[in-house]
Amino acid sequence: MNRYLNLTTLLAAAWWSTILFTWATISDAHTDGTSFELAGSELSQTLVLTPAIVILVALIARYRKIPNQIMIFAALVALWSAYLAFSLNPAASPAAVDGLEKLTGIAGTVGTASTTLAPTAYLVMSLGVVILSVLAAFSRTSEPKKSAEKLEEDPSDPKSLWDSQN
């Protein structure tokens, strides 16, 4: 489970960084050359927080208190974030409307958006986090087992002390 927790944490950190890239270029259909770029963090605050929630949940799962259920929750959060990223309309976001209002001076205008590869990377990484979280939830933890020879040689074992006194 630790291997999948480590991979989930690393991928979630990379996933979190994709929100800082430029996600869309918003332009006004009525004027020529009026456009601006928006990062993913400006489009949706929920998309900013969900990778942080997954990282926090993965760190909590390391304490070994119901880690399987906690990682299933992390997978659900990442899946919900993937759905939000897939269904996001950058042109209708409040940041895009506000930016166009400042550029054109017309209140409530909605422009057109051309997206970059950053939302696709965000979506793919969130689905990767879902897969790794599910693998972490259903993987078995391997504990090192002591061999029979080492059990007999262990001086702290009370059974070996009892046998040596007889």
Each residue of 45-71: b (16+ CB within 10 Å) or e?
eebbebbebbbebbeebeeeeebeebb
Structure-token pair, residue 30: 């009525």
pLDDT digits (tens, 9 = 90+) for 21-30: 988 888 887 7
Give the domains, in start order, of the chain with CATH numbers: 2-165 (1.20.140)
**pLDDT for 75-119, tens place per residue?**
999 999 999 989 888 888 888 888 888 877 777 777 778 888 988
* Alpha-carbon distances of 29 from 22, 37, 66, 103, rounded to whole Å: 20, 15, 53, 12
Instruction: Tell how far CA 6 is from the center of its chain.
Output: 13
